Amino acid sequence: MKNAHMKDAVALSDFLSLLQEQIHEGKVQWDELKVVHTLDEYRQQQDLNRGPSFSTIAAFGPNGALIHYKPSLETNRIIDNSSFLIIDSGGQYLDGTTDVTRTFHFGLATQRQKEIYTRVLMGAIDLAALVFSDSIADSHVDIIARQNLYQVELDYHHETGHGIGSFLNVHEMNINSKEPHRFRANYFFSDEPSYYLPNEYGIRLETILRVVDVKMTVHSARIAVH
């Protein structure tokens, strides 16, 4: 799984470097569907890649406010520097499965947008850095990713994360406040706090975490780490 994620990170970083450079130059026009096709091509260059792990989501501006949006010929938007772009994508590799979301603004975001993005990022970091007892269910850590949004009366209306297989299903059991599951060592799951402003934009940051054992003086515990 770690090897698969390293290769996937290379493909994604190379693609994002191209995308950012060309949008800033303004000489090449990008739209959501072009992002989907080009990113898929970059992943195919990686060793043991067997295609996307799900249909790539590229959502610009108001389309990003739709949680389960998928671009089509009818909804396809031109990407410029006026709003946020969400890219939610992943790859299937013989040595693992990936799922990653990043949100970009290629222009000047407002102070309000910067604050919300920062609070989403804080939630992602807080969950990734969490040390907790092995008696704690995943339903009890959901609040960790949401707390910084709650402080300013914001929230997102989907699960904080989900399990992910290794060359298996990219979406396994959900991590939310309603269905408790116990963490186990080497369990991989997504950490994806978000925010969506209807008809305006969306912000989502998703990273896959790995659960590892740590020793404590009182009792055993686990920590979720990248």
**How far does Cα 225 stand from its chain's mean position?**
15
Q: Give the pLDDT band (50/70/90) at residue 176.
A: low
Whether 8 is covered by a domain: the verdict is: yes
Structural domain harbouring 99: 1-211
Whether 96 is covered by a domain: the verdict is: yes
| Res 178 pLDDT > 80 | no
pLDDT digits (tens, 9 = 90+) for 42-81: 999 999 999 999 999 999 999 999 998 999 999 999 999 9
Whether 225 is covered by a domain: the verdict is: no
Q: What is the largest CA-CA distance in the chain?
A: 61
Q: What is the mean pLDDT of residues 127-148?
A: 89
The structural domain count of the chain equals 1
Q: Give the pLDDT band (50/70/90) at residue 223.
A: low
How far apart (Å, rounded) are the C-alpha atoms in residues 172 and 162?
6
Whether 125 is covered by a domain: the verdict is: yes
Whether 135 is covered by a domain: the verdict is: yes
- CA-angle at 151, arms to 146 and 154, nearest 5°: 65
Q: How does the average pLDDT of the chain come out, rounded?
A: 92
Q: Give the pLDDT band (50/70/90) at residue 122.
A: very high
How far apart (Å, rounded) are the C-alpha atoms in residues 99 and 208?
7
pLDDT digits (tens, 9 = 90+) for 75-114: 999 999 999 999 999 999 999 999 999 999 999 999 999 9
pLDDT of residue 88: 98
Whether 223 is covered by a domain: the verdict is: no
What's the CATH number where 100 sits? 3.90.230.10
- Given a contact cutoff of 8 angstroms between Cβ atoms, the answer to whether 77 and 168 are in contact is no
Locate 35 and state its tokens: 């992002």
Whether 224 is covered by a domain: the verdict is: no
Whether 220 is covered by a domain: the verdict is: no
